[in-house]
């Protein structure tokens, strides 16, 4: 690990924090309302270490096995890291998520919710969960429609080992700000109405490297940023 790489991730993180602050200021929000999740999928533990040194403690992973290995590698860290599972979840992998992660952003089926609830170790805090909404991406099989949210929310709210914290979305890629904003605003509307029924709901997970300012303008409380922190991902290996 050379010094230049070290400072690159620290500098990137600083720039992302500044962009969060300036996006928040534009819509008169406080930057403290927005949690930065560092998406470390495909990146080595050394990159995570650099981010930790720069003050980052919340990380997002997409692949169960890779994520579990990283959770284990940093399990003795103080203060503890907070691990978010943000990838598609198959039921045969639910136990690993229930046992290792603090959050799951991609809940979109009753069956998986039931499994996570049963498999969550009883000596741990409830698994913090978000319902994934398929807000605009017709190609994607992940996420439920807005119309299906109230029923799944009610089912999850009755499960003692899950804590429903809000909603998550990965909209279809749009390059212009106004189109991004219009989609994110539909999520905010659904989030606000869900909050009326469930007072513990406080998390709207939306915004990635290419659409973060629009997500913040629409009301995101958690942005999931990979590329802008860790650089482009290499899937060729």
The interface mask with ligand PLP, positions 168-187, x = CB under 6 A, is: --x-----------------
According to the binding rule CB under 6 A, does residue 62 interact with ligand PLP?
Answer: yes
Between residues 65 and 151, which has the closer beta carbon with respect to ligand PLP? 65
Comparing CA positions, the residue from 45, 38, 55, 47 lying closest to residue 9 is 47
Please report whether residue 86 would count as binding ligand PLP according to CB under 6 A. Answer: yes
Applying CB under 6 A, does 64 fall inside the site for ligand PLP?
A: no
Cα distances (Å, whole numbers) of residue 53 to 15, 47, 218: 15, 10, 31
Please choose, out of 76-84, 181-189, 193-201, 220-228, the segment that lies near ligand PLP by the rule CB under 6 A. 220-228
Write out the H or E segment, with its range, that includes residue 42. none
The reply to whether 209 sits near ligand PLP by the rule CB under 6 A is: yes
Report the C-alpha gap between 84 and 82 in whole angstroms.
7
Nearer to ligand PLP, 41 or 185 (CB): 41
| Displacement of CA 215 from its chain's centroid (Å) | 13
Beta-carbon contacts of 199 under 8 Å, excluding residues fewer than 6 positions away, are none
Residue 163, φ and ψ in degrees, nearest 5: -120, 115
109 vs 161, which CB is nearer to ligand PLP? 109
Those residues whose C-beta lies under 8 Å from the C-beta of residue 102, and which sit 6 or more positions away, are 82, 83, 84, 125, 127, 128
Among residues 39, 71, 116, 159, the one that binds ligand PLP under rule CB under 6 A:
39
Rounded to 10 deg, the angle between the 45-53 and 3-26 helix axes is 60
Q: How far is the CB of 151 from ligand PLP (least distance, A)?
A: 23
- Alpha carbon of 44 to those of 6, 47, 76, 165: distances in Å? 13, 5, 18, 29
CA 36 – CA 59 distance, rounded (Å): 9
User: Residue 86: enclosing H or E segment and its boundaries?
Assistant: none
Which of residues 113 and 208 has its CB atom nearest to ligand PLP in the complex? Answer: 208
Interface with ligand PLP includes 129 (CB under 6 A)? no
Q: How far is the CB of 181 from ligand PLP (least distance, A)?
A: 17
Among 68, 167, 169, 208, binds ligand PLP (CB under 6 A): 208
The token duo for 48 is 């995570």
Nearest approach, Cβ of residue 228 and ligand PLP (Å)? 6
Least separation in angstroms between residue 209's CB and ligand PLP is 3
Q: Which is nearer to ligand PLP, 130 or 162 (CB)?
A: 130
What are the respective helix, strand and coil percentages of the chain, to the nearest 5? 45, 15, 35
Query: Interface mask (CB under 6 A) for ligand PLP, residues 130-159, using x and -?
Result: ------------------------------
Could you list the residues that contact ligand PLP (CB under 6 A)? 39, 41, 62, 86, 170, 208-210, 224-228
């Amino acid at each position: 690990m050379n010094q230049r790489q070290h400072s690159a991730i620290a500098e990137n993180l600083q720039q992302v924090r500044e962009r969060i602050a300036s996006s928040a200021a534009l819509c008169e929000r406080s930057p403290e309302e927005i949690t930065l999740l560092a998406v470390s999928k495909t990146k080595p533990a050394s990159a995570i270490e650099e981010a930790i040194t720069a003050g980052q403690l919340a990380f997002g992973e997409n692949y169960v096995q890779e994520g579990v290995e990283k959770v284990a590698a940093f399990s003795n860290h103080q203060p503890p890291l907070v691990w978010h599972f943000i990838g598609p979840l198959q039921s045969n992998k639910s136990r690993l998520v229930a046992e290792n992660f603090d959050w799951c952003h991609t809940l979109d089926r009753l069956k998986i919710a039931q499994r996570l609830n049963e498999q969550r170790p009883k000596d741990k805090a409830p698994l913090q969960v978000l319902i994934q909404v398929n807000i605009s991406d017709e190609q994607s099989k992940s996420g439920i429609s807005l119309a299906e949210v109230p029923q799944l929310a009610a089912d999850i709210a009755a499960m003692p080992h899950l804590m429903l914290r809000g909603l998550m979305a990965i909209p279809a890629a749009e390059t212009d700000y106004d189109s991004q904003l219009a989609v994110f605003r539909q999520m905010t509307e659904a989030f606000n109405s869900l909050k009326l029924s469930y007072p513990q709901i406080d998390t709207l997970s939306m915004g990635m490297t290419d659409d973060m300012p629009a997500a913040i303008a629409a009301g995101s409380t958690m942005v999931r940023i990979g590329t802008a922190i860790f650089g482009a991902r290499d899937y060729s290996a």
